[in-house]
């Protein structure tokens, strides 16, 4: 109760402006910090109580605290029975990733059933993601973590939840743990469609020296190794890569990547410290109008603006400590990183400025600091195994965002410049009980307390700071979670899941009440858009060597306004949306040397409330199919053939315009000469299909067209048949 009193006082003081806005966040932090400390005190008390009660119920031969069975899962082929809390939770291991042709680092996420990863710009820009009836843009409803560190960027200059995975080194990935839906208390913002944690090795099975070349001047070199260092292990990796792509304007994407990790201990007790650094620059060929290609004004792989492009820097420090015994398990992760991004894009050509063109620059530089801590108590209640987890996530982003009108990357005018401080504090609790041998539950509750502080430094309309676009807003969102797990019977388990989640909107949108270019009033965006989700699923291993899951799901998204970083103001989305679908995932290993996987996902997304103009959600993913056949290490040979189908999608609310489907085949062939040397080759777009990576429908203007412009298809083509060859030495 004291927490809510303190919180209310802070809100009232802020509203009455009796304290400076810069101190409002501190006022909110005081009651939130008090609540978190109280939470951990309760955790210790409850944990002690559970341990005491459990010791009284155990026999002399069972001294110690009971614990739910622990099963280590490292590959998708491993059984998840008795481990998973939903039918759409899983793990992808290093071997499965090694056998997949991957053209861009972010494509490792396509190993998750139902996920599409694509690109509409240069390879250095964050990917476009699709999952569960969403065009997730650059990651708005898919929460991504690397070694537990959150990657999504709130209040990013280009898009909310911007998820740039170009710093990934696929050869260092030990596994990817994924889960779908808002049913898990350990994740909050951006996780409504799903989330994943990409875990790096701390010690490599062998050192790696790799040289890779391919079509379009593709070149890549990687050196990675781990060694004993004192009482622990030291892992280091360096990567350099370059490509021009098939584009008429060479992409000239150049990136430098490095990782250094020191670790000690084992699964029961230990720690690690990691430093990462990434730098990338590129030229971008963005989407082109289908009309311009048809009229011969630009080729399919041509550019409407040859000066589009970008740059990114990312430097990370993280430290992790963990300890576990038969009574409890504790984990603490602290991280800090600096991120810098600059993007030059031109999507509408001469629609806004018929003289200089519509190119704009977006800049984002930020410092991010955070802590993720959890403590789990193992015990018994009335003889039933129980786990109680108390956790706390803290994150603070200090951001400088800018939006500028440019021509050939030279600034013509400033649209807006803002300084943002966004702080998220989220205590959570999760309880797992094995009620019966064939029935267990997971009950969770999380609450995110978020402060959105924006200081506007400049808008075009005021030619200086604009108080109407500055502000300090506070929001909190309760997120109950429930999972019921039945079975297994005949190696088959059933799941019922429900929960609430959310995604944030840009802090600038939450505090903007005046258009930065025209001065017209705009409605402030909701700082938090809540979601409600549920699913029912089954997982079976009844057929020998086949793990199969079938899931029916539904998700409702709250009405919201959305901040569009490309124009610097809010755009309306006044309706609730509802998504539903089915997923069928299969992983079959009839022999040790053969794997067959086949994943199918179908979904539909509609606005509710009889919306004007139609109820289809544009760009929402509809049909996704991913399938592959892999022969493993048969007398040194490994071969994989993969199919990826991205089905047609509504491009307009009335479904009058639809995108074409895209079917691509990938092929991988490798040979191990011995334990040291191997060679492999990848062919992307094996059949040289004339497919699109992504398609949009919107208004634009070419030179010579009417001032109002035209509306039509614009697309970014999938790369044509592409070859890559790599020589690897393991030592």
Q: Which domains does the chain have, with CATH numbers?
A: 2-659+680-730 (2.40.170.20)
Does 72 have pLDDT greater than 60?
yes
Percent of the chain with pLDDT over 70: 89
Q: Rg of the chain's alpha carbons, rounded to an integer?
A: 26
What pLDDT does residue 1 have?
A: 37
Does 331 have pLDDT greater than 80?
yes
Separation between Cα atoms, residue 509 and residue 81, nearest integer Å = 44
| Range name among 19-23, 151-155, 384-388 with the lowest pLDDT average | 19-23
Separation between Cα atoms, residue 465 and residue 458, nearest integer Å = 4
Does 31 have pLDDT greater than 50?
no
- Name the band, by pLDDT with cuts 50, 70 and 90, for residue 612: confident
Mean pLDDT, the chain, rounded, equals 90
> For every residue of 169-219, which 3-state class applies, written as one string?
CHHHEEEEEEEECCCCCCCCCCCCCEEEEEEECCCCCCCEEEEEEECCCEE
* DSSP symbol at 676: S
Separation between Cα atoms, residue 562 and residue 416, nearest integer Å = 17
What pLDDT does residue 560 have?
A: 64
From first CA to last CA, the distance across the chain in angstroms is 60
- Name the band, by pLDDT with cuts 50, 70 and 90, for residue 65: very low
- Name the band, by pLDDT with cuts 50, 70 and 90, for residue 609: confident
Separation between Cα atoms, residue 78 and residue 371, nearest integer Å = 31
Q: What is the pLDDT of residues 227-282, one digit of tens each?
A: 999 999 999 999 999 999 999 999 999 999 999 999 999 999 999 999 999 999 99
Residues 6+ apart with CB under 8 A from 601: 113, 114, 132, 581, 582, 583, 584, 621, 623, 624, 625
CB of 197 closer than 8 Å to CB of 148: yes
- Name the band, by pLDDT with cuts 50, 70 and 90, for residue 357: very high
Task: Give 1 or 77, the one with higher predicted confidence.
Answer: 77
Q: What is the pLDDT of residues 139-166, one digit of tens each?
A: 999 999 999 999 999 999 999 999 999 9
Q: And the tokens for 148? A: 């537990």
What pLDDT does residue 610 have?
A: 83
Q: And the tokens for 331? A: 């984990």
Q: Which residue has the tokens 């799901």?
A: 553
Does 512 have pLDDT greater than 70?
yes
- Name the band, by pLDDT with cuts 50, 70 and 90, for residue 567: confident
Q: And the tokens for 692? A: 């699109």
- Name the band, by pLDDT with cuts 50, 70 and 90, for residue 558: confident
Does 60 have pLDDT greater than 80?
no
Residue 495, beta-bridge partner list: 485, 537
H or E stretch covering 11: helix 2-16
Q: And the tokens for 32? A: 């939130």
Percent of the chain with pLDDT over 90: 83
Whether omega before 488 lies within 30 degrees of 0, making that bond cis, reads yes
CB of 555 closer than 8 Å to CB of 191: no
What pLDDT does residue 70 have?
A: 56
Q: What is the pLDDT of residues 95-153, one digit of tens each?
A: 999 999 999 999 999 999 999 999 999 999 999 999 999 999 999 999 999 999 999 99
Among residues 427, 401, 424, which one has the least CA distance to residue 414? 401
Give the burial class of 462: count Cβ atoms within 10 A of its Cβ; 0-12 exposed, 13-18 middle, 19 or more buried: middle
């Amino acid at each position: 109760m004291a927490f809510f009193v303190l919180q209310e006082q802070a809100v009232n003081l802020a509203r009455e402006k009796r304290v400076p806005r810069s101190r409002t966040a501190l006022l909110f932090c005081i009651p939130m910090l008090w609540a978190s400390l109280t939470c951990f005190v309760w955790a210790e008390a409850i944990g002690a109580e559970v341990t005491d009660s459990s010791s009284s119920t155990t026999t002399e031969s069972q001294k110690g605290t009971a614990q739910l069975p622990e099963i280590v899962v490292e590959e998708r082929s491993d059984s998840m029975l008795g481990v998973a809390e939903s039918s759409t939770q899983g793990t992808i291991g290093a071997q499965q990733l090694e056998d997949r042709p991957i053209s861009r680092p972010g494509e490792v996420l396509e190993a998750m059933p139902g996920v599409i990863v694509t690109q509409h710009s240069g390879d250095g820009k964050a990917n476009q993601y699709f999952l569960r009836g969403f065009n997730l843009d650059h990651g708005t409803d898919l929460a991504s973590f690397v070694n537990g560190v959150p990657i999504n960027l709130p209040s990013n200059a280009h898009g909310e939840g911007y998820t740039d995975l170009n710093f990934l080194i696929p050869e260092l990935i030990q596994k990817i743990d994924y889960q779908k839906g808002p049913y898990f208390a350990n994740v909050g913002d951006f996780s409504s469609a799903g989330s994943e944690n990409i875990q790096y090795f701390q010690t490599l099975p062998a050192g790696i020296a790799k040289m890779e070349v391919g079509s379009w001047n593709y070149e890549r070199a990687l050196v990675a190794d781990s060694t004993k260092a004192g009482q622990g292990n030291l892992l280091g990796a360096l990567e350099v890569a370059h490509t021009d792509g098939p584009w008429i304007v060479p992409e000239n994407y150049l990136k430098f990547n490095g990782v250094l990790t020191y670790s000690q201990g084992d699964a029961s007790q230990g720690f690690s410290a990691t430093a990462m650094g990434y730098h990338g620059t590129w030229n971008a060929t963005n989407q082109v109008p289908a009309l311009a290609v048809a009229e011969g004004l630009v080729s399919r792989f041509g550019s409407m603006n040859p000066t589009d492009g970008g740059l990114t820097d990312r430097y990370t420090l993280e430290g992790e400590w963990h300890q576990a015994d038969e009574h409890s398990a504790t984990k603490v992760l602290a991280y800090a990183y600096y991120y810098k991004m600059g993007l030059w894009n031109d999507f509408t050509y001469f629609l806004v400025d018929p003289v200089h063109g519509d190119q704009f620059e977006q800049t984002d530089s930020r410092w991010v600091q955070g802590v993720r801590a959890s403590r789990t108590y193992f015990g018994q209640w009335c003889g039933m195994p129980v786990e109680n987890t108390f956790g706390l996530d803290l994150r603070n982003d200090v951001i400088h965002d800018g939006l500028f009108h440019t021509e050939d990357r030279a600034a013509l005018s400033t649209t807006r410049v803002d300084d943002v401080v966004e702080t998220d504090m989220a205590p959570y609790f999760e309880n797992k009980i094995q009620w019966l041998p064939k029935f267990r539950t997971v009950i969770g509750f999380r609450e995110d307390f978020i402060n959105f502080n924006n200081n506007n430094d400049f808008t075009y309309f005021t030619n200086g700071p604009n108080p109407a676009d500055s502000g300090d807003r506070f929001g909190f969102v309760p997120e109950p979670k429930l999972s019921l797990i039945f079975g297994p019977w005949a190696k088959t388990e059933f799941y019922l899941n429900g929960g609430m989640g959310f995604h944030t909107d840009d802090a600038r949108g939450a505090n903007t009440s005046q258009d930065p270019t025209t001065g017209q009033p705009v409605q402030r965006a909701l700082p938090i858009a809540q979601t409600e989700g549920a699913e029912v699923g089954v997982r079976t291993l009844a057929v020998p060597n086949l793990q199969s899951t079938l899931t029916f799901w539904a998700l409702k998204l709250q009405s919201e306004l959305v901040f569009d970083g490309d124009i610097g103001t809010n755009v309306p989305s006044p309706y609730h949306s509802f998504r539903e679908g089915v997923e069928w995932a299969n992983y079959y290993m009839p022999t040790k040397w053969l794997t067959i996987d086949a994943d199918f996902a179908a979904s539909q997304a509609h606005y509710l409330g009889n919306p004007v103009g139609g109820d289809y959600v544009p760009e929402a993913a509809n049909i996704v199919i991913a399938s592959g056949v892999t022969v493993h290490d048969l007398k040194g040979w490994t071969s994989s053939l993969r199919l990826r189908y991205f089905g047609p999608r509504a491009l307009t609310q009335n479904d009058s315009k639809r995108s074409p489907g895209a079917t691509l085949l990938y092929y991988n062939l490798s040979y191990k000469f011995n334990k040291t040397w191997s060679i492999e080759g990848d062919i992307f777009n094996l059949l040289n299909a004339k497919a699109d990576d992504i398609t949009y429908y919107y208004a634009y203007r070419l030179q010579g067209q009417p001032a109002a412009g035209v509306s039509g298809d614009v697309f970014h083509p999938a790369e044509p048949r592409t070859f890559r060859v790599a020589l690897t030495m393991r030592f």
